[in-house]
Amino acid sequence: MKDSQLHNVKSLKAVQSEVQIYNKVALSVDCVIFGFEENKLKVLLIRSDMKKFQSRWSLLGDLLNPNEDLDDAAYRILNQRTGMDDLYLEQVNTFGKVSRHPGGRVVTVAYYSLINVLNHKLQILDNEIHWHDVNAVTDLAFDHQDIFETCLKRLQKRVQEHPLGFNLLPNKFSLRELQNLYEAILGIKLDRRNFRKKFFAMDFLVDMEEIETNVPHRPGRLYQFDYEKYEKNKKKWSGIDF
């Protein structure tokens, strides 16, 4: 008697045909795309094309292709819809309630992403895609409201643990812009002096030795985020903690 029989071990072929007859479900990827504009945190939404959800908004999503990694699918959706290619992406959660999609069983993997609205004007100007103030997002189609809120909470948490915010800002930014961003994401007011101290203490802002222009007041200095320095000192980093 062979070992493989003794232990009921399955050959590759057996496993392959097993997988063939597995139950399968449609798998989609939905993206909560955040941007920052006019000192507000925004999210990119598209109008649902389903009668059931007439004129309600929904997240941007698409089906997973048969030979596509999950992360690649999320990236593809973002790239197709926005034309942007430098972005921050993070998987958040998978939503699989049986009846979440009226058309049948569709499980969806949710990502959020951060993009720099200023550097890249939306290249696909579908007039049914719009930026929405996150505070005004209600009643999305499907279970997208739930997905959206889960992703927003995740972002709020992450941004206090890692310096992600920079992905939403132009390359060079003033400390006020940075503070406005944090206040918009967290929905709270922060003390300006302590905010500055905190970020300077982290020591990964590079002074560009430039100043703002066209502001109706004393111009602020511009800074860049030093990704390299941050990567090197990552271990020491233990969060922002407002």
Partner DNA sequence: GCAAAAGTGTTGGAAATACACCCATGT
Partner DNA sequence: ACATGGGTGTATTTCCAACACTTTTGC
CB nearer to DNA: pick between 80 and 237? 237
Examine residue 170 and tell whether it contacts DNA (CB under 7 A). no
Residues contributing to the site for its own copies (CB under 8 A): 4, 7-12, 15-16, 18-20, 22-27, 47, 49-52, 54, 63-71, 91, 93-98, 101-107, 109
- Comparing CB distances to DNA, the nearer of 2 and 217 is 217
User: Which residues contact residue 183 at a Cβ distance below 8 angstroms, ignoring those fewer than 6 apart?
Assistant: 189, 190
Find the shortest distance in angstroms from Cβ 132 to DNA: 25
Spatial contact of 195 and 183, defined as CB atoms under 8 Å apart: no
208 contacts which partner out of its own copies, DNA, none, CB within 5 to 8 A by kind? none
Q: Is 192 in the site for DNA (CB under 7 A)?
A: yes
Taking a C-beta distance cutoff of 8 angstroms, is the pair 141, 49 a contact?
no
15 contact, one of its own copies, DNA, none, CB 5-8 Å limit per kind? its own copies
Q: Is 221 in the site for DNA (CB under 7 A)?
A: yes
Q: Residue 216 interacts with DNA (CB under 7 A)?
A: yes
The residue among 97, 98, 87 whose CA lies nearest residue 31 is 87
Query: Of 121, 157, 197, 232, which one interacts with DNA (CB under 7 A)?
Result: 197
Nearest residue (CB) to DNA, 105 versus 196: 196
Q: Which of 58-66, 135-143, 160-168, 194-202 is the region at the interface with DNA (rule: CB under 7 A)?
A: 194-202
User: Three-state DSSP class for 185?
Assistant: helix
Quick one: what does residue 27 bind among its own copies, DNA, none, with the CB cut-off 5 to 8 Å set by partner type? its own copies
Asked if 174 is part of the footprint of DNA (rule: CB under 7 A), the reply reads yes
The dihedral of CA 189, 194, 200, 203: what is its sign?
negative
Please give the Cα distance from 28 to 95 (Å, whole number): 10
Q: How many CB atoms neighbour CB 49 within 10 A?
A: 10
Report, in Å, the least distance between residue 213 CB and DNA. 7
CB-based burial label for 12 (10 Å; 0-12, 13-18, 19+): exposed
Strand, coil or helix: 95: strand
Instruction: Give the one entry of DNA, its own copies, none that residue 218 binds, where binding means its C-beta sits below a cut-off of 5 to 8 angstroms depending on kind.
Output: DNA
Residue 109 has which token pair?
């993997």
- Is position 14 an interface residue for DNA (rule: CB under 7 A)? no
CA 92 to CA 150: how far, in whole Å?
A: 8
Query: Can you say how many angstroms the Cα of residue 27 is from the centroid of all Cα atoms in its chain?
Result: 19
Residues of this chain that interact with DNA (CB under 7 A) are: 174-176, 191-194, 196-198, 201, 211, 214-221, 241-242
